Amino acid sequence: MKKTIAALACLCSLSYAADYDPVRGEMLSLSCASCHGTDGRSVTITPYIAGMGKATMYQILLDYKTGKKTGTMMQKHVKGFTNEELEQVSYYFSKVPR
């Protein structure tokens, strides 16, 4: 019984990684390039998002989507994405080297 519970716990912790699609993540991230630069490496005043932690970025995106956080374009931009798509984008940028 303990082995079964331990195995289920391990599988649950890996479920997000199994759902990540690098091609889709990169495709969705392209909409960020006009403000945040290629691969999130901004060269302007816009925040540099390459290498940001996926959980941190996902929470920030959700905060914009729900209105907890406000910004110039971000609130409008993220409303066009599902939560799953925001996860894909967050995961993608977390894998881009700073």
Report which residue type is found at 1. M
Q: Find out whether 58 and 66 touch, Cβ atoms under 8 Å.
A: no
- pLDDT, tens digit, 9 for 90 and up, residues 42-52: 999 999 999 99
- pLDDT, tens digit, 9 for 90 and up, residues 57-84: 999 999 999 999 997 799 999 999 999 9
The Cβ of residue 52 has, within 10 Å, a number of other Cβ atoms equal to 18
- pLDDT, tens digit, 9 for 90 and up, residues 11-48: 444 444 448 999 999 999 999 999 999 899 999 999 99
Q: Is 38 helix (H, G, I), strand (E, B) or coil?
A: helix
